[in-house]
């Protein structure tokens, strides 16, 4: 029997962040409710004040983008919640629950569409992050949960 702090390598996992705006607005429970109601399972969860180094690594693919510095400031302004979620096709599934990046364009019924805020020229406050591929998920889980390990395959 695997212990609860080990991940089953045969199952799919994704990294979810309830971003600082979501945590500040008290929406962590609402976001977790949507994820759990869908049937996904929480495998790791922590409140964390992310530092610039961690966020620059997390968002390395966006380093050259004009919004990068604003993004790091938004993400480090106050604590966030980091979560490892497990389930069948959970990477795609969480992206679907989240909705598209811009909250104004995100479909109603999605987390961002229902609850996210678009400040126009300012920061997009879109509440949540979810890994976008298997490669990203493995990299991001290792970054945010270095203590969490995959147990050996049988
Ligand atoms: P995601 O995968 O849907 O979160 O979107 P991306 O990977 O493209 O971008 C990462 C994060 O950067 C987004 O969730 C936003 O917080 C932020 N971001 C992306 N595009 C923009 C933009 O055009 N302007 C601003 N201000 N922020 C952006
Ligand atoms: Mg992304």
Q: Is the CB of 134 under 6 A from ligand 1?
A: no
Mean pLDDT of residues grouped by 10 in the chain (154 residues)?
74 98 98 98 98 98 96 96 98 98 96 91 89 98 93 68
Q: Is the CB of 14 under 6 A from ligand 1?
A: no
Q: How far is the CA of 101 from the centre of ligand 1 (A)?
A: 6
The predicted-structure confidence for 103-126, as pLDDT tens digits, reads as follows 999 999 999 999 999 876 678 999
Instruction: Note the ipTM here.
Output: 0.98
Q: Is the CB of 126 under 6 A from ligand 1?
A: yes
13 counts as catalytic: no
Domains, the chain: 6-150 (3.30.70.141)
**What's the helix, strand, coil split of the chain in %, to 5?**
40, 20, 40
């Amino acid at each position: 029997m695997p212990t609860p702090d080990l991940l089953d390598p045969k199952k799919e996992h994704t990294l979810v962040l309830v971003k600082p705006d979501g945590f500040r607005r008290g929406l962590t429970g609402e976001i977790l409710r949507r994820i759990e109601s869908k049937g996904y399972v929480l495998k790791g969860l922590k409140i964390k004040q992310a530092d610039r180094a961690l966020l620059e690594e997390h968002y390395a693919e966006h380093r050259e983008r004009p919004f990068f510095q604003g993004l790091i400031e938004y993400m480090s302004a106050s604590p966030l919640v980091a979560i490892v979620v497990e389930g069948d096709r959970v990477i795609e599934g969480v992206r679907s629950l989240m909705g598209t990046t811009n909250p104004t364009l995100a479909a109603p019924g999605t987390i961002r569409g229902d609850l996210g805020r678009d400040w126009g020229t300012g920061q997009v406050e879109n509440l949540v992050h979810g890994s976008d591929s298997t490669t990203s998920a493995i990299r991001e889980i290792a970054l945010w949960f270095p203590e969490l390990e995959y147990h050996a395959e049988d």
